[in-house]
Amino acid sequence: MKSFSIKTESLKKSFNGTIALAGVSIDFSAGLLHGLIGSDGAGKTTMLRLLAGLLKPSAGGIRYDRNGVAAAFGELRPSLAYLPQAASLYPDLSVREHLEFFRELYRLDAAVYSKRSGELLEITRLDKFTDRRAGQLSGGMYKKLGLMCALLRSPSVLLLDEPTNGVDPISRRELWELLYGLAADKILIIVSTAYMDEAERCARIHLLDSGRLLASGEPRAVLKQTGAVNFEEIFIKKGAHK
């Protein structure tokens, strides 16, 4: 089992003068479920895209470690799965066709694929909808399908950009249960969310506000450390838009 951890060091990213991340250092320690918490425009998506190698840092760096030894991004890439925030599936392809397409891209064996897809369809409860096209799925089902495509090859690092955004409460709970199940495998999971109540579901949280890191650590420790009653309060007290 490959165990990866990621560290960002004064990571900066700006787009045409707009600063998205203003020097953020976060330790995404191995085998845990990390939450990247922040409101819209906090820099969550930029952070995840940088971690996924889809953007290049303007300054600062990202360190990838495998089993405690520094590794190049290229070594991590084959076992990295990333679910973008925006719609990224093909509306005219069905659930089954998506899974088969990604299976081919990942070059999975038939046996591995049938076991894995069976499991995923069962836990996402999409097994009754395999013929439904992605364009006709509900918001929650759509996110689950995206997640399934990312999970199909049993990644060691999973980056999920707002997987619960716009999803009804029941489906949100289901998605989180799915993530708990994955976290039990001790893989590195980084989830971004704007829902403060989801912070408590993570093993580690990193509060981002306007491209700056407000706090980092275990959820309760963070509350204690800042003396806040809840996470909203931290943003209100320490955030840029007070």
Nearer to another protein, 38 or 155 (CB): 155
- Judged by CB under 8 A, does residue 80 bind another protein? yes
Amino acid at 38: G
Q: CB of residue 170 vs another protein: minimum separation in angstroms?
A: 25
The minimum distance between CB 227 and another protein, in angstroms, equals 39
Query: Do the strands 188-193 and 33-37 form a parallel or antiparallel pair, or are they unpaired?
Result: parallel
**Binding segment toward another protein, per CB under 8 A, in 32-40, 101-109, 196-204, 213-221:** 101-109
User: Which of the stretches 1-9, 146-154, 184-192, 231-239 binds another protein when contact is defined by CB under 8 A?
Assistant: 146-154
| Contact positions with another protein (CB under 8 A) in 149-208 | 149-150
Residue 65 gets which letter from DSSP? Answer: E
Q: Alpha-carbon distance 37 to 29, whole Å?
A: 16
Q: How far apart are the first and last CA of the chain?
A: 45
Question: CB 139: neighbour CB atoms within 10 A?
Answer: 14
Q: Within positions 106 to 135, which residues make up the interface with another protein, using CB under 8 A?
A: 106-107
CB of 222 to another protein, least distance (A): 29
Total number of residues that touch another protein (CB under 8 A): 32
User: Could you tell me which stretch among 21-29, 88-96, 173-181, 198-206 binds another protein (CB under 8 A)?
Assistant: 88-96
Identify whether the C-beta of residue 178 lies closer than 8 Å to the C-beta of residue 140: no
DSSP lists the bridge partners of residue 207 as 37, 215
9/97 with CB nearer another protein:
97
Question: What is the closest distance, in whole angstroms, from the C-beta atom of residue 159 to another protein in the complex?
Answer: 8
Asked if 74 touches another protein (CB under 8 A), the answer is yes
- The Cα-based distances of 15 to 43, 57, 192, 240 in angstroms read 12, 11, 20, 19
The site string for another protein over 43-72 (x = CB under 8 A, - otherwise) reads ------x--xxxxx----------------
* 21 touching another protein, by CB under 8 A: no
Binding of residue 88 to another protein (CB under 8 A)? yes
Kindly give the pairing relationship between strand 204-209 and strand 212-217: antiparallel
Alpha-carbon distance 108 to 106, whole Å? 6
User: Which residues, 6+ apart, have CB-to-CB distance to 162 below 8 Å?
Assistant: 44, 45, 85, 192, 193, 194
Q: What is the contact surface with another protein in residues (CB under 8 A)?
A: 49, 52-56, 74, 77-78, 80-84, 86-93, 97, 101-102, 104-107, 146, 149-150
